[in-house]
Copies of this chain bind each other. A is one copy, B any other.
Amino acid sequence: MSARVFINEVAPRDGFQIERDFVPTADKIALIDDLSPLGFAKIETTSFTSPKAIPNLADAGEVMAGIQRQPGVDYVALIPNEKGVERALACGTDELNFVMSASDSHGRANLRMTADQSLERFERMTDLAAGGGAFINASISTAFGCPFEGDVRPERVLEIVARLAAIGIQGVSLCDTTGMANPRQVAELCEAVLTRQPKLSLTVHLHNTRGMGLANALAAYQSGVMRFDAALGGLGGCPFAPGASGNVCTEDLVHMFEQMSVDTGVDLDGLLKVAEGLPAIVGHDVPGQVFKAGTSQRRYALPEAAR
């Protein structure tokens, strides 16, 4: 197993997009600037999508232009269509993260496209992005199950991954959009993708909806995955899984790996300080546990009676 993993902080996009209240542009920029020096491989900064579809990220261009970019960090934007490619490239986005769903119902509900329609569109988007210098990743939502259809066949996901590779897409994220995955399933699908597509950069995007977020991350790690999406404080979620907790929490994931002596590159103490400020930014409590409990290194004073 690898002694190093790479973290993509997705809270500015996947967290803020679903908040009830619009997070002010200045707060978004300030948070990203706080995160940038902490050692992330990538920060998913925003989404170049229609302001009607995601009003919370209507300030994508301003955010991308306003942040202080840190050398060594790739600033990623989620992109649903050709217009998004143009807008993202115009402001020098390092990575374009195309998004589709493995299941057609979720694709129609979320993007008004089936998987095949998304793949056709991705060809045009990839052509458009060619020569722009950006890394092209594709996120496959509902790769481990669909909240409308249920099981998603691994063969179908593998077929989609093969078509993405054929299009020329460089990286793929397998997304457990509503937290339906279990560790056995994660290990099996990740191993199959790594075996069949060794040249693709593979990321897992996990949610903690049913408490299995870190267990699934462990299973992915054991199967050879080195890249993980995670959201500060465990922000995020899915409109189709109300009441559930959100993305795997970045500081809890980093803490687990660092405790296992797996290097994340991330400054955990610095990250915990940023996480402590998150409830004030979003106006509510967040699911992250380590910033509340302290790390495993935390020591308590011995009670008087026991001294």
Name A's B-contacting residues (CB within 8 A): 105, 108-109, 112, 145, 147-150, 179-185, 208-215, 217-219, 240-241, 243-245, 249, 252, 255-256, 259-261, 288-290, 292-293, 295-303, 305-306
Contacts and interface: CB of A to CB of B under 8 A. Distances in A.
Contact of A299 (B147, B244, B297, B298): B147
Given A105-B302, A183-B256, A211-B256, 8 more contacts: A148-B301, A179-B293, A179-B296, A181-B296, A210-B295, A212-B214, A212-B259, A243-B293
B215 A256 contact: yes
The 4 A-B pairs at the shortest CB distance, nearest first, are namely: A182-B259, A109-B306, A244-B293, A108-B306
15 contacts: A109-B306, A147-B298, A148-B299, A179-B293, A182-B260, A183-B218, A184-B259, A184-B260, A184-B261, A185-B260, A215-B215, A215-B217, A215-B256, A241-B300, A244-B289
Contact of A244 (B243, B292, B301): B292
A253 to B, nearest CB: 8
B290 A183 contact: no
Contact of A209 (B149, B150, B289, B305): B289
Contacts of A109: 302-303, 305-306
Contacts of A219: 218
B299 A150 contact: yes
Contacts of A217: 215
Contact of A252 (B105, B147, B210, B218): B210
Contact of A180 (B112, B184, B296, B303): B296
B292 A243 contact: yes
A198 to B, nearest CB: 25
Given A209-B289, A211-B214, A289-B245, A182 B296 contact: yes
A243 B148 CA distance: 36
For A295, A296, A297, which residue has the most chain B Cβ atoms within 10 angstroms? Answer: A296
For A184, A215, A260, which residue has the most chain B Cβ atoms within 10 angstroms? Answer: A215
Contact of A210 (B208, B213, B296): B296
A212 B150 CA distance: 27
Nearest to A149: B299
A255 B105 contact: no
Contacts of A288: 211
A249 B215 CA distance: 14
Contacts of A301: 148
Contacts of A210: 252, 255-256, 289-290, 293, 295-296
Nearest to A296: B180
Contact of A256 (B182, B256, B303): B182
